[in-house]
Amino acid sequence: MKVKILFITAFLLIMALLPFAAAKCSFLDINSNQTVSTADSISDGNNGEDDGYEKVLCGLVAAKYKDSYSDETIKAIAILLNTDYTVNPESFDITDKNNCIYEDNSDNSLKEIYPKIKKTVNSILKLTVNKNGKKLYIPYLDSSNGMTIENDDYDYLTGVASPWDCYTENYDENAECIGVSINGIEYLCKNGASAEEALKWYLPNFDISEVK
């Protein structure tokens, strides 16, 4: 009987102290030094789970968008930018509207297409261009002179033929393109290639896949 009384007393004492313990835990949680990611606080090498990172990536893709681009072209650009921003975010000035256009700051025509951009970006957040499981920065230019070139600064890239650049209105025979030609990507995608296939034309030794 005494044991039972002691057990009940101990139980009631614990129940009485629970609110104080909960209050203390809440206080510690609120005042702990946590880093909260926002659109202005992007963690390096983000794995795609941060809303702020996704917003920035949408802004980068939107700044590159042209009305002529096919859905697969947008996807290819998104994968390319996802790779480069993950590898070297400092190379992007996301405060410059020429480089990054957020939905709130987009004009009416771009605002109409923004849902498609967000859907595309969301679908490729874990996809990057990588070689042997390593993500590498991939330079790009709007167009080439018919061939991408090799460069000592990017010795992991191979020059490839890009003859379709010659068909573009802004063709420049002096353009020296390292890595990827965006106009070339657009031509390939419009003629039946997937985003991954178009990227692999310019990056034959690379994979487009998830890298942890």
CA distance 23 to 82: 42
**Residue 35 scores a pLDDT above 80:** no
pLDDT at 51: 72
pLDDT band at residue 50 using 50, 70 and 90 as cut-offs: low
What's the mean pLDDT when you consider all of the chain? Answer: 81
Q: State phi, psi for 18 to the nearest 5 degrees.
A: -55, -45
pLDDT tens by residue, 63-78: 999 999 999 999 999 9
Nearest by Cα to 181 from 208, 139, 143, 128? 143
Higher pLDDT, 67 or 7: 67
pLDDT tens by residue, 101-143: 999 999 999 999 999 999 999 999 999 999 999 999 999 999 9
Tokens of 38: 């926002």
**Residue 91 scores a pLDDT above 70:** yes
pLDDT at 14: 36
Strand partners, 208: 129
pTM of the model: 0.76
Task: List CB contacts of 173: < 8 A, sequence separation 6 or more.
Answer: 145, 146
